[in-house]
Amino acid sequence: MSADRLAEGAYRKCHPWNRSPASFFDEAEDFRAAVAGTLGAPADCVAIVPSASYGLSAAARALEPLVPDGREILLVENAFPSNVFPWLRLAEATGGRVVTVPTPPDLDWTAAVLDRIGVRTAVVALAQCHWTNGAWFDLERISDAARAVGAVLALDATQSLGAVPLDFDRIRPDFCVAAGYKWLLCPYGLSLMYVDPRWHDARPLEESWLARTGAEDFAALANYSHTYQAGARRFDVGQKSVPTLLPGGIAALRQLGDWGVAAVAESLRGINRSIVEAMSGFPLAPLPEAVRAPHLLGFTAEARLPDDLLARLASEKVYVSRRGASLRFAPHLHVTPNDLDRLRTAMSKVL
């Protein structure tokens, strides 16, 4: 369905005269409504962005006044680069100090992060799970600890949003971004950013005319408005109303809503348990279920793996990833028992 909507949107370019001023706003609002209905984030708190790095850069820009010299920005070791570079820039601009939590030997990231949050912490920048192996962060406990010291919680949920529920009301992140092309099943180039109401008056990353009040009146655009539209809309990317992207994203989010994110998570938990069973007997140790997310599964090699392992598996039409020191599996609902049999057969050939 999403692919069909993308194709329909592409043909709109052939007849641009059929697009009215309302076309620049209506689908954007439909997208916000789909995010609210499927993921539980209030529509007014949703901004439309092109990538996770854009959203996190916007968050870092908004926080510049709150990270004075010497305050700490807390990251974790081997975090995805999108959730590192904006904070390095923020520290450079403000005199803040980046502190990186090292990988805990027992992989209990929650305890490691909680142990490092203190009175000097200004920002805690995390994910819901570690992108390399699916190691889990208990965001409820971390959010409480960050709030207790007045720190901001900024999340990159790219690796989980759409596959695992995220309770926005309970966790109350200040900012949360997610690249749409992964678990949200959206087109490349379409992502979302959640902005807590306390930041709705912050400075955005760019000054889009579409984010200003009165922008719907194309005849009066030269009557420059100095006020922004309500909610998180000031954080929208300038060219938000791309007719080839928004329809595909709306369809994808509605499909996720029909499935239910919680149901997706439980299905993926079962599939990953089956992957662990299929991989038994090989020199690979899975991340223990007690400390991992339901949808991502990392294995650590007990011996050196062949350099061409991924290519040889791909030749058998089995696709896994190397992420850091982990062999990472990211299955979805299409995985069948036959796929698991093919996985075990392929691994037997290459190891």
Cα separation of the two ends of the chain: 39
DSSP state of 322: E
Per-residue model confidence as pLDDT tens digits over 131-175: 999 999 999 999 999 999 999 999 999 999 999 999 999 999 999
Chain center to CA of 50: 12
What pLDDT, on the 0 to 100 scale, is given for residue 3?
A: 77
Element (H, E) at 299: strand 297-301
Instruction: Output 86-90 pairs: Cβ under 8 A, ≥24 positions apart.
Output: 86/53, 86/56, 86/57, 86/59, 86/60, 87/56, 87/60, 87/123, 87/125, 89/57, 89/60, 90/60, 90/63, 90/64, 90/123
What are the Cα distances from residue 152, in Å, to 66, 147, 148, 199, 208?
9, 7, 10, 11, 26
CATH 3.90.550.10 holds for 261-350? no
Per-residue model confidence as pLDDT tens digits over 265-297: 999 999 999 999 999 999 999 999 999 999 999
Angle formed by the axes of helices 246-259 and 26-39, nearest 10°: 20
The candidate with the shortest Cα–Cα distance to 67, out of 172, 141, 174, is 174
With a cut of 90, say whether residue 4 has pLDDT above it.
no
C-alpha–C-alpha distance, residues 205 and 175, integer Å: 14
Cβ contact 182:159 at 8 Å: yes
What predicted TM-score, i.e. pTM, was given to this entire model? 0.94
Q: Which residue has the higher pLDDT, 15 or 179?
A: 179
C-alpha–C-alpha distance, residues 102 and 113, integer Å: 9
Question: What beta strand segments (E) does 77-169 contain?
Answer: 97-101, 121-126, 152-156
Instruction: Output 333-339 pairs: Cβ under 8 A, ≥24 positions apart.
Output: 333/259, 333/264, 333/267, 333/268, 335/271, 337/274
Per-residue model confidence as pLDDT tens digits over 47-99: 999 999 999 999 999 999 888 778 999 999 999 999 999 999 999 999 999 99
From-to residues of CATH 3.90.1150.10 in the chain: 261-350
| pLDDT mean over 316-320 | 93
Q: How confident is the model at residue 241 (pLDDT cuts 50, 70, 90)?
A: confident
What pLDDT, on the 0 to 100 scale, is given for residue 244?
A: 79
From-to residues of CATH 3.40.640.10 in the chain: 2-259
The candidate with the shortest Cα–Cα distance to 129, out of 268, 17, 280, is 268
Question: What beta strand segments (E) does 87-195 contain?
Answer: 97-101, 121-126, 152-156, 175-179, 191-195
CATH code of 2-259, in short, is: 3.40.640.10
With a cut of 80, say whether residue 243 has pLDDT above it.
no
